[in-house]
Amino acid sequence: MTQLNSTSLREIFQEALKEDKDFIKELLRRLLQEFMEEERNQQVGVSSYVRDKSIRKATRNGYKSRSLNTRVGNLKLKKPQIREFTFCTHLFENYQRSEKALLSAIQQMVIDGVSTNRVEKIVERLSPDLTFSKSTVSRLTQELDPQIKKWQEERLRGHYVYLFSDASYFYVRENNQVVKRPLLISIGIDTNGYRKILGVNMALEESSSTWTEHFTALKERGLKTVGLTISDAHKGVVKAQEEEFPGTPHQRCMVHWERNLLFRVESQRKERISQIHKTDLYFS
């Protein structure tokens, strides 16, 4: 892991104090710049002006201008270059991921019918220094596609102790019309208690056939057995689970069960019943 020594930190702090305009912004810029310099030193093998060829792996090759949007504003940085190979830095990874996600969200807002003026106001609140164009949004969205595809095709464990499945409904635009569509979601919990989203699929409707396709896709990626399936009482998902995981016990989701129960309770009594301890409610 790249670290800065105390001397470097002290010099950076003293230099930043000379900048009266924005001390915090200048301090952060100098820290990040020094961080990249240390990264290049490690990749080259020696510090600046060291001539020992026995430990040198490569040579420095100047800088490229690079900007970074942060909470304190836009920072103008100089990204180090290496002649023999590409300089790699961890500094921009989180920034790039956040930037792509934000711009993809902007594109989705446009798809959902949010006006351009409204989008610009939202972006200004989120990041005053961020500028974007239609071509930039398209390019960054295309760069996200391989990452999403990789996640969708990721191999799964052969066994999960619990498999939670449910559909969440969203309004989407189809053929210039806004329609409501179910998003089928399955979450698995492994033997170590870790929870993982296994699959997400948008469907035309929530039915036995669409849930069967959903579970079949999970099995094709490696899922073989499940200790317990958990879902609401929708006939489609229950039937699909019985067919795709034969012999596996099923439990009705207690959250849905409680909601169904409260739906049949008089309005003035709903609040009181909903406050009953869940153990008493579920097992009394």
Per-residue pLDDT reduced to its tens digit, 111-168: 566 665 666 666 666 555 555 555 655 665 566 677 778 888 899 999 999 999 999 9
Q: Average per-residue pLDDT in the chain?
A: 77
| Residue 25 pLDDT > 70 | yes
pLDDT in tens, 219-276: 999 999 999 999 998 999 999 999 999 999 999 887 766 777 766 777 777 677 666 6
Domain check: are 164 and 243 in the same one?
A: yes
Across the range 196-205, mean pLDDT stands at 92
| Domain end residue (candidates: 38, 68, 91) | 91
Is the pLDDT at 284 greater than 50? The verdict is no
Quick one: pLDDT at residue 251?
A: 92
60 in any annotated domain = yes
Q: CA 268 to CA 235: how far, in whole Å?
A: 31
pLDDT of residue 253: 80
Domain-embedded: residue 15: yes
Q: In one letter, which amino acid is 57? A: K
| Whole-number pLDDT of residue 66 | 84
Whole-number pLDDT of residue 20: 47
Percent of the chain with pLDDT over 70: 62
Residues 225 and 176 in one domain: yes
Q: Cβ(32)–Cβ(25) under 8 Å?
A: no
What pLDDT, on the 0 to 100 scale, is given for residue 205?
Answer: 93
The residue range of the domain holding 23 is 6-91
Identify whether residues 138 and 170 lie together within a single domain.
Answer: no
Do 82 and 119 share a domain, yes or no?
Answer: no
The reply to whether 70 and 109 lie within a common domain is no
Residue 23 lies in a domain: yes
Q: Which two tokens stand for residue 280?
A: 């008493």
Nearest to 110 by CA among 95, 127, 123, 129: 123
Query: Quick check: is 260 in a domain?
Result: yes
200 vs 269, which has greater pLDDT?
Answer: 200
258 and 248 both lie in a single domain: no
Q: 177 in a domain, yes or no?
A: yes
39 and 111 share a domain?
A: no
Provide the number of structural domains found in the chain.
4
Rounded to 10°, the helix 6-17/23-44 angle is 150
Over residues 175-182, the mean pLDDT reads: 89
Quick one: 244 and 258 in the same domain? no
Alpha carbons 83 and 230: distance in angstroms, whole number: 56
**139 and 165 part of one domain:** no
Supply the Cα-derived Rg of the chain in whole angstroms: 27
Residues 84 and 15 in one domain: yes
Task: Give the residue from 71, 91, 111 where a domain finishes.
Answer: 91
Residue 81 confidence (pLDDT) above 50: yes
Specify whether 175 is located in the same domain as 204.
Answer: yes
Structural domain includes residue 218: yes
The answer on 11 and 36 residing in a single domain is: yes
- The reply to whether 1 falls in a domain is no
Q: At what angle do helices 208-220 and 235-244 cross, to 10 degrees?
A: 40
73-82 and 250-252 strand pairing:
unpaired
- Choosing from 135, 152, 169, the residue where a domain stops is 152
Within a domain: residue 122?
yes
